[in-house]
């Protein structure tokens, strides 16, 4: 392969990462969710065209998605904190379970191969899409969050989120709302909870993937554990820049229409993951 071909291939790859981050960040700002639900399947298809071992494709996509969420969750949390919407005592109650669940969940995921993880993600994405199409709203429970149910709930949220490569908002917001926390505080607090999910899950994917080396793909230059550093860097910057644009546009477009369009897109991505 000529040097010119390598340069062209690398430029196309970077452009795809930029577009992925832009779309994920824009969607997150527009609807409050997005992130891993968009990044994971797109990265899977990008990495599928490269020389990585097939059994590790989903591990790399999941780990890289979670690494980008570290950056976006910090940005989102700071924005919500300025509006005094984050319930920090609730974050502290959930954080221990979230951290342990995220670490163990990522460790469990690394024991599964792509053939198993891909349909799991596909089913989860279709499930989220159908909830959005049905405009699901969680019912409220009578009891407040205490240490015991906070740890259990946090562990489940962290575990599932790390296995499907998301920041957990899809799970955390309904859980908080179910415990009589209003939706605005639930979204803000969920953003803050996304940070420990992303940090512990990413650390686990790095730890468990540290000795995974595929010389044919020259991964020693691109991977830290299972995290693809080039994709992480470009997507994180791109999503960080485009999230405010989505948030600004959210105030001028029908929320109902946006959710339907986005949910149909997620549904198609989920079906593609199942059928690919």
Where exactly are the structural domains of the chain?
3-275
Q: In sequence order, what are the residues at sequence separation of 6 or more whose Cβ sits closer than 8 angstroms to the Cβ of residue 56?
A: 114, 209, 212, 214, 226
CA 232 to chain centre: 12
d(CA 131, CA 263): 8
Report pTM: 0.87
d(CA 190, CA 173): 6
- In this structure, what is the dihedral angle of CA atoms 236, 275, 114, 121, given to the nearest 10 degrees? 60
CA 44 to chain centre: 13
What are the pLDDT tens digits along the chain (276 aa)? 455 555 567 788 899 999 999 888 877 766 656 578 889 999 999 998 887 888 899 999 999 999 999 988 888 888 778 888 889 999 999 999 999 999 999 999 999 999 999 999 999 989 888 887 876 666 666 566 777 788 999 999 999 999 999 888 888 888 887 888 887 788 788 888 999 999 999 999 999 998 875 544 555 458 899 999 999 999 999 988 887 777 666 556 676 776 777 788 888 888 988 887
């Amino acid at each position: 392969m000529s040097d010119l071909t390598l340069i062209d291939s690398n430029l196309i790859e970077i452009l795809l990462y930029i577009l992925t981050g832009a779309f994920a960040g824009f969607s997150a700002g527009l609807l409050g969710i997005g992130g891993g639900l968009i990044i994971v399947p797109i990265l899977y298809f990008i990495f599928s065209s490269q020389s990585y071992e097939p059994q590790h494709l989903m591990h790399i996509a999941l780990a890289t998605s979670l690494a980008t969420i570290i950056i976006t969750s910090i940005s989102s949390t700071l924005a919500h904190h300025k509006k005094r919407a984050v319930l920090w005592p609730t974050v502290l109650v959930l954080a221990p379970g979230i951290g342990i669940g995220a670490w163990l969940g990522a460790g469990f995921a690394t024991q599964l191969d792509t053939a198993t993880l891909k349909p799991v993600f596909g089913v989860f994405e279709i499930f989220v899409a159908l909830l959005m199409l049905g405009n699901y709203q969680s019912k409220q429970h009578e009891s407040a969050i205490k240490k015991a149910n906070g740890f259990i709930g946090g562990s489940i949220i962290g575990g599932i989120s790390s296995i499907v490569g998301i920041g957990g908002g899809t799970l955390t917001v309904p859980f908080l709302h179910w415990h009589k926390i209003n939706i605005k505080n639930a979204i803000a607090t969920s953003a803050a909870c996304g940070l420990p999910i992303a940090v512990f899950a990413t650390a686990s994917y790095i730890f468990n993937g540290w000795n995974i080396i595929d010389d044919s793909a020259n991964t020693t230059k691109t991977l830290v554990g299972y995290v693809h550093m080039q994709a992480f860097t470009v997507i994180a910057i791109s999503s960080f820049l485009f999230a405010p644009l989505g948030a600004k546009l959210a105030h001028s477009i029908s929320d109902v229409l946006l959710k339907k369009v986005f949910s149909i897109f997620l549904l198609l991505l989920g079906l593609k993951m199942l059928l690919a």
